[in-house]
């Protein structure tokens, strides 16, 4: 018997891999549901993901799981809307968004070609995502668009993130197919957890002594893993806040992520999430999901929202605010990646902070850990 502690993506992926190999597995989870950071609440007819995130259906680990077909997956446009002054420009794959590729407000053609070069170039040792992008010549494109967009991806400034880890994530975004299950991100975790034979909720593990006779995979977040394994240091955890506002007034019929191309406030991005899936809000209401990274007041969020959406926001209702202090681990250096998952005899560890700060990183870490144990 193998005990997997934690039913986040890493734990679920580890359990599935072991199950497939014929091992008996028991998953124990502290909360009342699977998914860890990938879950949703249902409040007064709204579906509120605990932190705005899109699921990239193009991630290799998602493809392996063959899960997208079961999710009523709603694909998001593969572009962002960059608000400049009072107008906006759509920026995405130049083959589909040909006009925006030539729009000089978001950077020159040379800078856009430099971005394509970036995707094929090799990061230097010790370089950050920011210095890599600037080195290849993305100039104004980086300053006006990419920096803000990437802050929303890494939940940190690109100058803090290792160029190697960063480029993998940027590449997967460019080639990916992001979207959401119609019923919210929790649907992903629920469908995955239904594949596991033995899973126990509301079971917080405080000590590994409980499972002294079994093989154990610790698939918790980094802080709980450090507690269970007696480790003294953990990677820096990056926080974020997701704000949910609703309104009956028209906002926009776009389901694109909006970012401000000028420095006019603290918002990293905003999206009318109910335009991506109407199940996110009651009929007649729009649900707007907005991300900030630094502590920000609600009045400041409303002020910046009215600039981004070009409509008054004074009457918008604040439906919920999620402060998530440990949203993502910071990958500041390449050496953070750990090759072996074995801690001591019979004890292994998995989680996004071991592999990459993403859904794919968590799933991959879980699968590799299980394979090492096997």
Judged by CB under 6 A, the residue of 221, 252, 271, 348 near ligand FAD is 221
Q: How far is the CB of 168 from ligand FAD (least distance, A)?
A: 11
Examine residue 330 and tell whether it contacts ligand FAD (CB under 6 A). no
Q: How far is the CB of 125 from ligand FAD (least distance, A)?
A: 25
Span interacting with ligand FAD, options 33-41, 99-107, 129-137, 270-278, rule CB under 6 A: 33-41
Q: How far is the CB of 4 from ligand FAD (least distance, A)?
A: 9
Query: In whole angstroms, what is the distance from residue 180 CA to residue 53 CA?
Result: 8
Q: How far is the CB of 310 from ligand FAD (least distance, A)?
A: 25
Examine residue 351 and tell whether it contacts ligand FAD (CB under 6 A). yes
In order of 86, 189, 267, 326, 346, the CA distances from 224 in angstroms are 46, 20, 30, 11, 18
Judged by CB under 6 A, the residue of 19, 57, 138, 240 near ligand FAD is 240
Q: How far is the CB of 156 from ligand FAD (least distance, A)?
A: 12
Q: Which residues contact 58 (CB under 8 A, 6 or more apart)?
A: 172, 175, 176, 177
Examine residue 352 and tell whether it contacts ligand FAD (CB under 6 A). yes
Examine residue 204 and tell whether it contacts ligand FAD (CB under 6 A). yes
Helix segments in the chain, DSSP class H:
9-20, 60-65, 98-101, 109-120, 129-135, 139-141, 147-154, 163-175, 186-193, 222-229, 273-276, 298-309, 352-355, 359-373
Identify the bridge partners of residue 40 per DSSP, sorted by sequence position.
49
* Beta strands 347-349; 267-272: pairing state: unpaired
Span interacting with ligand FAD, options 29-37, 64-72, 111-119, 120-128, rule CB under 6 A: 29-37
Query: In whole angstroms, what is the distance from residue 331 CA to residue 95 CA?
Result: 32
Examine residue 311 and tell whether it contacts ligand FAD (CB under 6 A). no
Q: How far is the CB of 328 from ligand FAD (least distance, A)?
A: 5
By rule CB under 6 A, what count of residues binds ligand FAD?
A: 36
Burial 164-178 (b: 16+ CB within 10 A, else e): bbbbbbbebbeebbb
* Beta strands 215-218; 199-200: pairing state: unpaired
Judged by CB under 6 A, the residue of 2, 3, 4, 8 near ligand FAD is 8
The alpha carbon of residue 89 and the mean position of all alpha carbons in its chain are separated, in whole angstroms, by: 24
Q: How far is the CB of 323 from ligand FAD (least distance, A)?
A: 10
Phi (first) and psi of residue 203, to 5 degrees: -125, 95
**Interacting residues with ligand FAD (CB under 6 A):** 5-11, 28-31, 36-38, 51, 53-54, 56, 204-205, 219-221, 224, 240, 324, 327-328, 351-352, 357-362
């Amino acid at each position: 018997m193998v005990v997997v502690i934690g039913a986040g993506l890493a734990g679920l992926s580890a359990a599935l891999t072991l199950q497939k190999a014929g091992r008996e597995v028991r998953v124990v989870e502290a909360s009342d549901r699977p998914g860890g950071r990938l879950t949703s609440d249902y409040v007064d007819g709204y579906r509120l993901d605990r932190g705005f995130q899109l699921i990239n259906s193009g991630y290799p680990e998602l493809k392996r799981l063959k899960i997208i077909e079961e999710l009523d997956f709603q694909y998001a446009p593969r572009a962002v809307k960059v608000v400049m002054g009072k107008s906006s420009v759509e920026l995405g794959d130049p083959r589909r968004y040909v006009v925006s590729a030539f729009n000089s407000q978001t950077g020159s053609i040379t800078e856009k070609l430099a971005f394509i070069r970036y995707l094929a170039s090799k990061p230097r040792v010790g370089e950050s995502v920011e210095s890599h992008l600037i080195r290849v010549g993305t100039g104004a494109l980086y300053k006006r668009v990419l920096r803000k967009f990437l802050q929303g991806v890494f939940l940190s400034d690109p100058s803090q993130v290792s160029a190697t880890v960063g480029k993998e994530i940027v590449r997967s975004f460019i080639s990916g197919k992001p979207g959401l299950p119609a019923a919210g991100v929790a649907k992903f975790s629920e469908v995955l957890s239904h594949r596991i034979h033995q899973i126990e909720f509301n079971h917080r593990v405080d000590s590994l002594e409980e499972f002294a006779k079994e093989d154990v995979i610790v698939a918790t977040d980094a802080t709980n893993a450090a507690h269970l394994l007696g480790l003294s240091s953990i990677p820096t955890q990056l926080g974020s806040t997701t704000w949910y506002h609703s309104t009956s007034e028209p906002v926009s019929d776009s389901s694109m992520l909006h970012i401000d191309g000028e420095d006019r406030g603290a918002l990293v991005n905003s999206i009318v999430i109910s335009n991506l899936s109407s199940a996110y809000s009651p009929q007649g209401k729009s649900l707007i999901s907005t991300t900030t990274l630094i502590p920000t007041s609600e009045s400041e969020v409303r002020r910046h929202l009215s600039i981004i959406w070009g409509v008054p926001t004074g009457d918008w209702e604040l439906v919920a605010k999620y402060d998530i202090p440990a949203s993502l681990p910071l990958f500041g250096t390449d050496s953070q990646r750990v090759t072996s998952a074995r801690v001591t005899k019979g004890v292994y560890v998995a989680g996004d902070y071991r592999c990459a700060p993403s859904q794919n990183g968590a799933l991959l870490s879980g699968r590799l850990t299980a394979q090492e144990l096997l």
